[in-house]
Amino acid sequence: MRLVTLPVVFTALLATPTTVLALWPIPKTLQTGSTPLKLSSNFKININIPHAPSDLHAAVQRTITHLKTDNLQRLVKDRGAADLKAIHQHTTHTLSSLTLSLSGSHTSAAAAVTSIAEEAVKPIGTRSEGYTVHVPADGSPATITANSTLGLFRGLTTFEQLWYTSAGGQVYTLESPVEITDFPSVPDGVDLGKPYRGLMLDTSRNFFPVKDIKRTLDAMSMAKINTLHWHATDSQSFPLQIPGFTEISAMGAYGPDMVFTPSDIKDIVSYAGERGIDVVVEIDTPGHTAIISESHPEHIACLQAVPWSDFANEPPAGQLRLASPATANFTADLLSAAAKLFASSLFSTGGDELNSNCYVHDAETQKMLNATGRTLEQALDAFTQTTHGALRKLGKTPVVWEEMVLDHNVTLSNDTVVMVWISSMNAAAVAKKNFRIVHAPSDFFYLDCGAGEWIGADPTGNSWCDPFKTWQKSYTFDPLANISAANAHLVLGGEQLLWAEQSSPANLDSIVWPRAASSAEVFWTGATLPDGSPRAINGAAGALPRLHDLRYRMVQRGINAIPLQPHWCAVRPGVCDLTA
């Protein structure tokens, strides 16, 4: 990251902003002035990069569009009417252009410039998302500089958030000059090409069409979220159409119109990549697989055993016969074929909520175990070596849920990424075993909690993970809590998650946004805010005006993000705080 020498004449406004700059996540350093600046209606963006990739050109075009169509009035009581006097002064300068450049060694190797999509799928630790934005007060060209096209794209996203629109359609800021040097820095405070900032979407319990996933990717990119963890399949449906295994989705998808074809998948991966998002797919195994029985009953144990609650955490029961070499090979081949559809270096094999009682009652499994003299745990280890081995051959790094290292005796390579979900308290135990961690704890990040129990005959039940996880709760998450300094490097980042038992396109936007932006800021900035203060202590109150801005901008872009408060409060920052 090239460090920018900051002009000292600007006033640092982070502590007590005079107006709200609608930046989310908050940049590492931000300096603003107090000079009004208009954006020209002929505003242009120049890409000062030979052979710039087409997705950078496309991103620039989207920024031009957003600047024209966001039409976001400032969130103050008069919606910026009083700003008009300042911005319509004849002395007010107009910004006519922005120039994008690559910095450092990259400028001399122009032919080797990689696309945003290529940068987005590089292994964690090797990406460069940092950038600088400079907007002079005198109308001379603004600049964004970065080490990569991905960094330039992040800078464009920030640039879009600098502007409001007056009732008359003038795009403006009151706070030029603007100087931003920004990079994600969890957990180390320096730019190591981390972290993982994710959103998980479950497309098995209920189906989500491609257009809804694309709209979600648009919203994710607004908050600089860089990973879609796609929990694509589960016991209820198998929507992924995988070459060589098309019978599984033909019989296990919810319907012929509720399938992701290879072409759909390519579309999603490419759409995500252009927006700086890596798509990490999950085919959960060996549990959460009952629906495979529709096409391959021979591979599934305890299918729809009753009562289901004795054999699975939710209906229907049914798990892969992991002790069977035929099943292990089938699974390895399936995962390999699926992995080839995705550009990411990561692939999740799941591994959560394996029900041992299922296998106790499965005669086939018992026969296999008896024949080989193996325990179930030994069989699970062998199964995992087979499936992970197949993925390794394709250059993929496996991702697993926490039970695979905390509850089972499975030999895993230490570059395996472990998702901690049962409790945030379990991250420390995973770190002690020297595995890399993605924080996905139900007690902070499960977006479905608090919506009631969905089991039909349970009229008085609440969510198992009650209460609802507010954005304030997730925002105060500390990525390094209970993790020793020596193990801090194991923390890759984290994600918020939507399990879809009670979700569909009907409530996708409203259950996710703007809440899921809270972890995006946590994993961009770390445990402390840029001014050094700990986020956990009243950080949410300071963040609220910016999160309102992000939400209102999302609504302007057609994303059905919910209001966090009455509009009365949104246009009077701080006034509705409990202590106000």
Task: Name the residues annotated as catalytic.
Answer: 353
464 binds a copy of itself (CB under 8 A): no
Report the alpha-carbon distance of residue 253 to residue 446 in Å, rounded: 25
Q: Measured between alpha carbons, how far is residue 274 from residues 119, 338, 359, 512, 555 in Å?
A: 10, 21, 44, 22, 22
Cis ω for the linkage preceding 141 (within 30 of 0): no
CB of 287 to a copy of itself, least distance (A): 16
CB of 350 to a copy of itself, least distance (A): 17
Closer residue to a copy of itself (CB): 376 or 555: 555
CB of 40 to a copy of itself, least distance (A): 27
Binding test (CB under 8 A) with a copy of itself, winner from 376, 394, 406, 541? 541
Which 473-492 positions form the footprint of a copy of itself (CB under 8 A)? 473, 475-476
Site mask for a copy of itself (CB under 8 A), range 43-82, x = bound: ------------------------------------x---
Q: Which two tokens stand for residue 35?
A: 């000079």
Binding test (CB under 8 A) with a copy of itself, winner from 456, 485, 486, 532? 456
457 binds a copy of itself (CB under 8 A): yes
Q: Which residue has the tokens 């700003």?
A: 83
CB of 266 to a copy of itself, least distance (A): 25
Site mask for a copy of itself (CB under 8 A), range 390-429, x = bound: ----------------------------------------
Binding test (CB under 8 A) with a copy of itself, winner from 53, 155, 350, 539? 539
Site mask for a copy of itself (CB under 8 A), range 436-455, x = bound: --------------xxxxxx
CB of 202 to a copy of itself, least distance (A): 10
CB of 570 to a copy of itself, least distance (A): 9
Q: Which are the contacts of 53, defined by CB distance < 8 A and separation ≥ 6?
A: 113, 114, 115, 116, 118, 149
> Is residue 169 within 8 Å of residue 510, measured between CB atoms?
no
329 binds a copy of itself (CB under 8 A): no
169 binds a copy of itself (CB under 8 A): no
> Is residue 425 within 8 Å of residue 406, measured between CB atoms?
no
Instruction: Count the residues of the shown chain that bind a copy of itself, applying the rule CB under 8 A.
Output: 77
Which 198-237 positions form the footprint of a copy of itself (CB under 8 A)? 204-207, 235-237
576 binds a copy of itself (CB under 8 A): yes
Closer residue to a copy of itself (CB): 116 or 253: 253
Q: Which long-range contacts (CB under 8 A, 24 or more apart) does 484-487 make?
A: 484/431, 487/431, 487/432, 487/434
Q: State the CB neighbour count (10 A cutoff) for residue 492.
A: 25
Region of 189 please: left (phi>0), alpha (psi -120 to 50) or beta: left
> Is residue 527 within 8 Å of residue 476, measured between CB atoms?
no
Binding test (CB under 8 A) with a copy of itself, winner from 248, 334, 338, 511? 511
CB of 506 to a copy of itself, least distance (A): 4
> Is residue 508 within 8 Å of residue 544, measured between CB atoms?
no
Binding test (CB under 8 A) with a copy of itself, winner from 425, 466, 481, 482? 466
CB of 476 to a copy of itself, least distance (A): 6
Closer residue to a copy of itself (CB): 64 or 564: 564
- Residues linked to residue 492 through DSSP beta bridges, in sequence order: none
382 binds a copy of itself (CB under 8 A): no
Binding test (CB under 8 A) with a copy of itself, winner from 468, 480, 556, 557? 468
565 binds a copy of itself (CB under 8 A): yes
- Altogether, the residues listed in the chain come to a count of 580
> Is residue 483 within 8 Å of residue 431, measured between CB atoms?
yes
Q: Which two tokens stand for residue 20?
A: 């709200």
Burial (CB < 10 A; 0-12, 13-18, 19+), residue 520, is: buried
Which 285-314 positions form the footprint of a copy of itself (CB under 8 A)? 291, 304, 306-309, 314
Main-chain dihedrals φ then ψ at residue 164, nearest 5 degrees: -115, 165
579 binds a copy of itself (CB under 8 A): yes
Burial (CB < 10 A; 0-12, 13-18, 19+), residue 472, is: middle
